[in-house]
C-alpha cells in the first residue's frame, strides 16, 4: 500500500471519486462515543515514554521550541527551517479552552530528552457555506507542530503520534480535525500557494532566495521594492482591548462567505488571537472615529504574524525575519491599499519578507503589490469529514499558524 497509515484512517481516500453527487457531506465514521475510546496511550518503541508538555512554563515552552528549532519543517532546498519562537508557541498553543493533555511529547526514558511532539487546540470550524451540518460549525481540533527528531525519522513514529493525539481528542467527544501540510496525503481539501513580497531584497539575494532580474542591478531592484514612508489608510492604528467586540463581529461577518473558516466564539478568543504581542502577532484596526454612541467605530482590520526561519548554512545571515498575512478585512479602504499598509508596517517592524497564501481575497493584490509566487504548496486537510467537492483557495478562509 502506498499510504499504509492514511489508508487506515477515516479520511477521503485517493481512490474515491471527486465531485460525485452521491458523496454525502459529513463525518466518515459516525456515532462514535467517548466511552469506547482506549484509556491507555498507544505503545511506543522501547525506551520512549509519553509526556504532556507544559507550555505555560518557560522551561516547557523552551523545550518544545528547541525540538522544533532543530527538527521542524525545512523547504525542499534546505535553505530555511521554520524557527517559531517560544513566545509564539506559547500564544499558538494556549488559546481559550486549550488542554496541556493535547500538547503531546515523546521523551527518551533515560535522558528525559524530548524527541517528538504533536499538538491539538480546540476550534469551531465551519465547512461549506450552506451545508446543513456545517452551518453552525463543527467542534474540531486544529493539529499542528507534528515533529519527530531527525535521528528518529522513517521509523513509523508519526502514525503513533497521530493515533495518540486522536485518542486524546476523542476522549473529549471530538471526532474531527483540520490541519495543513506541504506533503500530499489522502486527501487534500484545498491546494494553496505561497506568495512572497520582498521587503529587504538585498538580504534575500545574498541568502540566495531571490535572484537579480535580467537587466536589473541591485540598486534598481531595491528601488523597485521601495515602499512609501507612511501608511495611507486614515484612522489606521494598533488594535487595543476595547476593539475586541467589534473585531469579533467584523470577523464572523466577513468569514461567512468562505467554505472553510473558523467561528470566533467569544471576545476572549478575539483578544487571544488578535491583541498585539511583540514578535508574535501584529494587528491594526481602522478607527473611523467616534460614532453617535460616543464609541469608536472599527471598520477594517489588518493582521500578520511573525514566523522567523533559520537560514541553513549561510555565513552572512543567520535568520530570516518573515511576516505572514493573517486575517485582513477591508471595508473602507481597498484591500490593495490596506495590504500596502501591511507591507509598510511589516517593513517598519524590520521584517525581510511578507508572505501570504492565495486564500480568501489575497490573489487580488498580489500582482500590484509585487508579490512573487513561491515554489511550495500548502495542502488543507480535514480528518473524519467528507466534502462533495474540493475547494479552490479563494474558498478557504482559515489560517493555521
Ligand atoms: C479527531 C482528532 C484527530 C487528530 C489527528 C488528525 C490528523 C493529523 C495529521 C498530522 C497533521 C500534522 C500537521 C502539522 O503539524 C503541520 S505539517 C508539518 C509536519 N512536520 C514536519 O514536516 C517537521 C519535519 N518532519 C518531521 O518531523 C517528520 O518527517 C514527520 C513527523 C512529519 C513525519 O515523520 P517521519 O519519520 O518522516 O515518517 P514516519 O514516522 O515513518 O511516518 C510516515 C507516515 O507519516 C505520514 N506523514 C508524513 N508527514 C506527515 C504530515 N506532515 N502530516 C501527516 N502525515 C504525515 C506519511 O504519509 C506516512 O504515512 P503513510 O505511509 O500512510 O503515507
Ligand atoms: C523568503 C520566502 O520564503 C520563506 O519565507 C520561507 C521561510 N522559511 C521556510 C521554512 C520552511 C519551509 O518549508 C516548506 C518554507 C519556508 C519558506 S517558503 C514557504 C513558507 C512561506 N511563505
Catalytic (active-site) positions: 401
pLDDT of residue 343: 99
The more confident residue out of 291 and 378 is 378
ipTM for the whole predicted complex goes beyond 0.90 = yes
Beta strands in 333-394 (DSSP E): 353-357, 372-383
Whether the CB-CB separation of 117 and 106 falls below 8 Å is answered with: yes
Span from the CA of 400 to the centroid of ligand 2 (angstroms): 15
Q: Let me know: does 139 contact 121? Beta carbons within 8 Å.
A: no
What is the sign of the dihedral through the CA atoms of 141, 145, 148 and 153?
Answer: positive
pTM of the complete model: 0.98
Per-residue pLDDT at 227? 98
pLDDT tens track for 119-149: 999 999 999 977 777 678 999 999 999 999 9
d(CA 221, CA 239): 33
Q: Is the CB of 82 under 6 A from ligand 2?
A: yes
State the chain's mean pLDDT as an integer.
96
Are 383 and 125 in contact by the 8 Å Cβ rule? The answer is no
Protein residue with its CA nearest to atom 9 in ligand 2: 80
pLDDT digits (tens, 9 = 90+) for 202-221: 999 999 999 999 999 999 99
Task: Compute the distance between CA of residue 126 and CA of residue 147 in angstroms, rounded to an integer.
Answer: 27
Per the CB < 8 A criterion, the answer to whether 194 and 378 are in contact is yes
The position carrying cell 522513517 is 154
Give the integer Cα–Cα distance in Å for 140 and 380: 14
Q: Mean pLDDT, to the nearest integer, of 374-390?
A: 95
Regarding beta strands 353-357 and 190-198, do their DSSP bridges make them parallel or antiparallel, or are they unpaired? antiparallel
Going 367 to 369 to 375 to 379, the CA torsion angle's sign is: negative
Cβ(123)–Cβ(398) under 8 Å? no
Q: In angstroms, how far apart are the furthest CA atoms of the chain?
A: 68
Question: Quick check: CB of 320 below 6 Å from ligand 2?
Answer: yes
The pLDDT, as a whole number, for residue 158 is 98
Atom of ligand 1 nearest to the CA of 383: 6
Taking Cα atoms as reference points, which of 373, 336, 319, 34 lies closest to residue 198? 373
For the CA of 385, the nearest ligand:
1
Ligand nearest to the CA of 306: 2
Cβ–ligand 1 contact at 177 (below 6 Å): yes
Mean pLDDT along residues 59-87: 98
Amino acid at each position: 500500500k502506498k499510504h499504509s497509515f492514511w489508508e487506515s484512517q477515516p479520511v477521503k481516500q485517493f481512490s474515491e471519486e471527486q465531485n460525485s453527487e452521491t458523496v454525502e457531506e459529513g463525518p466518515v465514521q459516525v456515532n462514535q462515543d467517548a466511552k469506547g475510546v482506549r484509556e491507555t496511550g498507544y505503545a511506543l518503541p522501547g525506551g520512549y515514554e509519553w509526556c504532556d508538555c507544559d507550555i505555560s512554563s518557560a522551561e516547557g515552552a523552551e523545550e518544545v521550541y528547541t525540538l522544533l528549532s532543530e527538527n521542524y519543517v525545512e523547504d525542499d532546498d534546505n535553505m530555511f527551517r521554520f524557527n517559531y519562537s517560544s513566545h509564539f508557541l506559547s500564544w499558538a498553543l494556549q488559546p481559550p479552552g486549550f488542554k496541556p493533555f493535547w500538547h503531546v511529547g515523546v521523551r527518551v526514558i533515560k535522558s528525559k530528552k524530548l524527541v517528538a511532539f504533536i499538538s491539538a487546540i480546540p476550534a469551531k470550524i465551519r465547512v461549506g457555506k450552506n451545508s446543513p451540518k456545517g452551518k453552525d460549525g463543527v467542534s474540531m481540533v486544529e493539529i499542528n507542530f507534528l515533529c519527530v527528531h531527525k535521528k528518529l525519522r522513517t521509523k513509523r513514529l508519526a502514525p503513533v503520534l497521530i493515533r495518540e493525539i486522536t485518542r486524546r481528542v476523542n476522549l473529549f467527544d471530538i471526532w474531527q480535525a483540520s490541519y495543513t501540510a506541504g506533503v500530499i496525503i489522502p486527501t487534500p481539501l484545498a491546494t494553496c500557494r505561497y506568495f512572497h513580497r520582498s521587503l529587504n531584497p538585498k538580504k534575500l539575494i545574498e541568502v540566495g532566495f531571490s535572484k537579480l532580474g535580467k537587466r536589473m542591478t541591485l540598486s534598481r531592484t531595491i528601488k523597485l521594492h521601495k515602499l512609501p514612508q507612511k501608511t495611507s489608510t486614515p484612522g489606521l492604528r494598533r488594535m487595543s482591548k476595547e476593539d475586541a467586540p467589534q473585531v469579533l463581529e467584523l470577523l464572523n461577518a466577513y468569514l461567512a462567505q468562505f467554505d472553510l473558516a473558523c467561528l470566533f466564539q467569544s471576545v476572549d478568543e478575539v483578544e487571544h488571537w488578535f491583541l498585539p504581542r511583540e514578535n508574535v502577532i501584529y494587528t491594526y484596526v481602522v478607527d473611523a472615529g467616534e460614532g453617535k454612541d460616543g464609541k469608536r467605530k472599527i471598520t477594517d482590520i489588518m493582521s500578520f504574524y511573525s514566523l522567523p526561519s533559520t537560514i541553513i548554512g549561510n555565513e552572512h545571515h543567520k535568520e530570516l525575519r518573515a511576516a505572514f498575512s493573517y486575517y485582513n478585512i477591508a471595508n473602507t479602504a481597498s484591500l490593495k491599499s490596506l495590504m500596502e499598509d501591511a507591507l509598510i508596517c511589516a517593513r517598519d517592524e524590520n521584517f525581510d519578507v511578507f508572505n501570504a497564501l492565495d486564500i480568501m481575497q489575497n490573489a487580488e493584490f498580489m500582482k500590484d503589490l509585487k508579490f512573487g509566487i513561491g515554489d511550495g504548496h500548502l495542502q488543507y486537510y480535514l480528518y473524519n469529514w467528507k466534502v462533495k467537492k474540493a475547494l479552490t483557495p479563494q474558498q478557504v478562509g482559515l489560517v493555521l499558524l
